[in-house]
Amino acid sequence: MAKINFGGVVEDVVTRDEFPLDKAREVLKDEVVAVLGYGVQGPAQALNMRDNGINVIVGQREGSPNYDKAIADGWVPGETLFSLEDAAERGTVVQYLLSDAGQRSQWPKIIEYLNEGDMLYFSHGFSITYKDQTNIVPPPNVDTALVAPKGSGTSVRRNFLAGSGINASYAILQDFTGRAKERTIALGIAIGAGYLFPTTFKDEVYSDLTGERGILIGALSGVMEAQYNVLRKHGHSPSEAFNETVEELTQSLILLVAENGMDWMYANCSTTAQRGALDWHPRFRDAVTPVFDDLYKSVVNGEEARIVLEKNSDPNYRENLAKELKAMRESEMWQAGAAVRSLRPENWKKEE
């Protein structure tokens, strides 16, 4: 492990220097990795491992759109593509990557196929942490661990193909074989993690649910909408409001933050932008801190988990979700966004 100083706090992390891909292949050479679920994380992790030479099979319900997607990605029915139960039976590592609601509903079947010494692998601490609601308790004779990429499945695959990786956390819940840690880290390297840092199942899900509802998606989209609406209310055009709210952030400023940090981005803005941002930064921080406190409490007390399981178990969930997303897509703000994106230089028609 490498000791890295994170703002004055030293953490142990695993990089590809200490644990190269060849070592991961050696650790996993006798494993059959069964990826159950081909929805969000499943495709990226399965394809990355396959490209890295790991023996991977996929479990997905036949007749579903994701089953067809798996076939399109080169998984072969009866050879590398099976039902959930058949894949779980064949796997020595069972990557349980169904949705959280799907994990709860399928668990009574899947647990029957876990053999002594197998590894049960998650990419989220949800089902284990909220076991009172999911009823998911691993049998004591299997290794149980997680590797949680800090990005969407799309980004996990895209970064892998670009030669980089998505950072990931890892945790060990049960070490029955005495090899749980090396198996877990090998899997993290095999799925293309940039580096791996230790966590617990609880810490992973508490931070993840807070982040998703907060700055990563919920708060970000909410603050964008608020600023866009204020600008429109004061007579600014949709193009101007969207460019000042979203386009400049996503196409310019956030890239500077990614390159060298927030201070570097500030240093490379106009002095007018610097001064205003420095003055207003604490006001926004202080205004939203109580909201984040409420959010974190709702995550820890299980209320967010209850809502997720209740909503996602509704047979009309996908239909209702489509309506919510349609309303967002058809709002003026995101219609303006579609128009702005179409006018980016890379989308201009090439001259004949």
Q: Which residue has tokens 């076991």?
A: 131
**Tokens standing for residue 254:** 């956030």
Residue 35's beta-bridge partner residues? 58, 95
**Radius of gyration in angstroms for the set of CA atoms belonging to the chain, rounded to a whole number:** 22
| Torsion sign, CA atoms 65, 192, 166, 175 | positive
| Torsion sign, CA atoms 66, 50, 147, 33 | positive
Show which residues are catalytic: 124
38 with 66: CB under 8 angstroms? Answer: yes
69 with 38: CB under 8 angstroms? Answer: yes
C-alpha–C-alpha distance, residues 37 and 42, integer Å = 6
* Residue 87: partners with Cβ closer than 8 Å, 6 or more residues away: 34, 35, 36, 57, 58, 59, 94
C-alpha–C-alpha distance, residues 191 and 33, integer Å = 11
